[in-house]
Amino acid sequence: MTGHHILTLSCPDRPGLTSAVTQRLFQHRGNVVEAQQFGDAETGRFFMRIVADFADEAAEGEFRQDFSGLAGTYDMEWSLRQADERRRVLILVSKFDHCLSDLLYRHRIGELPMDIVGIVSNHPAEGHELAGARNIPFHHFPITKDTKPQQEAQIRDVIEETGAELVVLARYMQILSDEMSAYLSGRCINIHHSFLPGFKGAKPYHQAHARGVKMIGATAHYVTADLDEGPIIVQDAEAITHADTPDDLVRKGRDIERRVLARAVRCHLEDRVLLNAQKTVVFGD
């Protein structure tokens, strides 16, 4: 038997899709280990995530070739990937590195199956001693309002040179240009430190404190040109009180941000997240 493979697909919904897919797997000596599906009546799209083993590599190759025909028939967007294939990830950070250090820790203990190909910051390395400690290339790319195009070109060069498949904005506090957002469409995750759609933009904890909220939260979402409007992947929140200062909210929020971003990155790495118009389908972990 081969190792686990992850098949994901989305297509216009119609009766018989689950049967058609699982029949093909059976015909090519595939064994379903786990299957999840969802049909969205609003968007009329069907989503599926299947974990399967194959009798051998030849069976997997024959399935892949045959399935591409089926996918064409049903207008499927699909992917078939070895579950143990590690993705190459580039992490961007600005001044606050609590999410960065959390991702590095989870990577070091093997919780996140990824290869970190580099860290980019618009702040100097002195603020992030963590990167050097793990022999991860650290790129200091300063930015001003006048140099954003040049700075983003530097980031794109690193992405191309390293083959980064996912970019994580771990409290990277620069708004990506429309061109950069399009270039990274569907493969750039941001952690916003509020429970969106509340308190978009800069300083959400200060916005929340001024509003007198009783809950604060964090949102991990795909980045689009529309600031903090991208498809939401993971969210979490926790209670605060009238006695909490903005600094208390920042402190309490750090733990929420860390766990929300880590969960969103893991869901993406495990092909659990499928785009559904402006939203996502997340097949639970």
Ligand X SMILES: Nc1nc2c(c(=O)[nH]1)N[C@@H](CN(C=O)c1ccc(C(=O)N[C@@H](CCC(=O)O)C(=O)O)cc1)CN2
Question: CA separation (Å) from 241 to 178, 182, 215, 245?
Answer: 38, 40, 8, 9
Q: How far is the CB of 225 from ligand X (least distance, A)?
A: 5
Least separation in angstroms between residue 191's CB and ligand X is: 7
Beta strand 188-192 with 114-121 is unpaired
Cβ-based nearer residue to ligand X, 224 or 235? 224
**Enzyme catalytic residues:** 228
Return the axis-axis angle of helices 246-269 and 98-108, rounded to nearest 10°: 40
Q: Is the dihedral of CA 276, 33, 20, 74 positive or negative?
A: positive
Cβ atoms within 10 Å of 245's Cβ, excluding its own: 10
Among 35, 51, 225, 237, binds ligand X (CB under 6 A): 225
Contact (Cβ atoms closer than 8 angstroms) between residue 272 and residue 83: no
Q: Smallest distance from the beta carbon of 31 to ligand X, in angstroms?
A: 40
Residue numbers 160-199 binding ligand X by CB under 6 A: 169, 172-176, 181, 190, 192
For ligand X, the closer of residues 11 and 223 by Cβ is 223
Q: Which is nearer to ligand X, 4 or 98 (CB)?
A: 98
Segment near ligand X (CB under 6 A); pick from 1-9, 129-137, 154-162, 220-228: 220-228
For ligand X, give the closer residue by CB, 64 or 148. 148
| Residue whose structure tokens are 């529309």 | 226
Parallel, antiparallel or unpaired: strands 77-82 and 5-12: antiparallel
Q: Which of 201, 215, 238, 247 binds ligand X (CB under 6 A)?
A: 201
**Site size for ligand X, by CB under 6 A?**
17
| Stretch of residues binding ligand X (CB under 6 A), selected from 55-63, 132-140, 221-229, 271-279 | 221-229
Q: Is 140 in the site for ligand X (CB under 6 A)?
A: no
User: Could you give the CA distance from residue 85 to residue 67 in angstroms, rounded to a whole number?
Assistant: 21
**Residue appearing with tokens 């980064």:** 164
Catalog residues that contact ligand X under the rule CB under 6 A. 169, 172-176, 181, 190, 192, 201-202, 223-225, 227-228, 230
